[in-house]
């Protein structure tokens, strides 16, 4: 089944890349200017509505409850989740030829995992390590010049593209050391349930940070779906170019900040 899904995503990626030049806002490649088409808009809008319903019934209420936790607990949780995410960032730094960043992020991970007690305390930042920037396999594919394909909305996960959705499957293929240690490691410290718990908590943590921002975006948008699509595509472009982000988008479960102005 995994092979069928992966093959289908690759086929969609190759079939849906387009070369129409735009104003540059949706350019998701360092080498080529490509418009990202919403080929599956009807299905995407239906999935988007489903996600909105789940958010109102489940995620938003849980996020409000999470916000009531003491600030040190929420801060420590965010730090630990960010520390874990470096296990995806580091190999992508290497794949993009950013060896200095890979070294810095490895040092950051080691310091925060040990001295920072599994990343609960961001000791590396206090030691003046450079600011942490997330990387993922979708960004790496984009940096290699692979087009985004069509825009898609995934159940629960949210906005993506064919390329970025395929990038998320790289974890299943062995690209995420944390996933491998948890799911295939056969050790007494990590298991599949712990891995899934961290992913769920990541989503809750993001939602709690952005309660007002997302509500304002929805309230002030004539078309909320189109606004989210635009923000996502602009953010992915900026991440691939390593320019200042508009948002830290939810990919593999966590956004950090949503700019609505």
pLDDT per 10-residue tile (average), the chain, 261 residues: 40 37 35 73 97 95 95 95 94 95 96 96 95 92 93 94 90 76 79 88 92 93 95 91 57 43 43
CA distance 181 to 192: 9
Find all residues with CB under 8 Å of 184, minimum gap 6, and list them. Answer: none
What pLDDT score was predicted for residue 250? 44
What pLDDT score was predicted for residue 176? 79
Q: Which run of H or E residues covers position 71?
A: helix 71-95
Strand partners of residue 154: 158
CB atoms within 10 A of CB 38: 16
What pLDDT score was predicted for residue 29? 35
Task: Read off the pTM.
Answer: 0.77
Contact present, 222 and 49 (Cβ < 8 Å): no
Structural domain contains residue 157: yes
Structural domain contains residue 125: no
- Per the structure, the complete domain to which residue 232 belongs is given by 2-69+145-241
Structural domain contains residue 191: yes
Structural domain contains residue 7: yes
What pLDDT score was predicted for residue 212? 93
Structural domain contains residue 120: no
CA 256 to centroid of chain Cα atoms: 10
Locate all alpha helices (DSSP H) within 96-191, ordered by sequence: 99-114, 123-126, 137-143, 162-169, 177-183
């Amino acid at each position: 089944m995994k092979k069928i899904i992966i093959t289908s995503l690759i086929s969609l990626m190759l079939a849906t890349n387009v070369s129409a030049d735009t104003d540059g806002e949706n350019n998701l490649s360092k080498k080529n200017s490509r418009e990202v088409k919403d080929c599956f808009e009807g299905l995407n809008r239906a999935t988007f509505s489903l996600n909105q319903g789940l958010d109102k019934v489940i995620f938003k209420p849980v996020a409000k409850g999470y916000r009531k936790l003491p600030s040190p607990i929420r801060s420590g949780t965010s730090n630990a989740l960010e520390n874990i995410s470096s296990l995806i960032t580091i190999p992508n730094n290497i794949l993009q030829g950013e060896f200095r960043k890979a070294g810095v992020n490895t040092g950051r991970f080691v310091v925060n995992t040990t001295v920072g007690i599994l990343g609960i305390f961001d000791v590396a930042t206090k030691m003046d390590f450079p600011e942490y920037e997330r990387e993922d396999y979708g960004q790496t594919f984009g940096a290699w010049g692979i087009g985004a394909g069509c825009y898609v909305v995934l159940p629960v996960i949210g906005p993506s593209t064919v390329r970025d959705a395929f990038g998320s499957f790289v974890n299943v293929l062995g690209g995420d050391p944390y996933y491998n240690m948890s799911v295939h490691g056969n050790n007494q410290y990590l298991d599949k349930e712990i891995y899934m718990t961290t992913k769920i908590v990541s989503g809750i943590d993001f939602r709690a940070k952005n309660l007002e921002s997302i509500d304002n975006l929805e309230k002030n948008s004539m078309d909320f779906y189109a606004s989210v699509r635009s923000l996502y595509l602009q953010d992915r472009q900026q991440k691939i170019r390593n320019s200042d982000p508009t948002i830290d988008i939810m990919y593999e479960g966590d956004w950090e900040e949503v700019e609505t102005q």
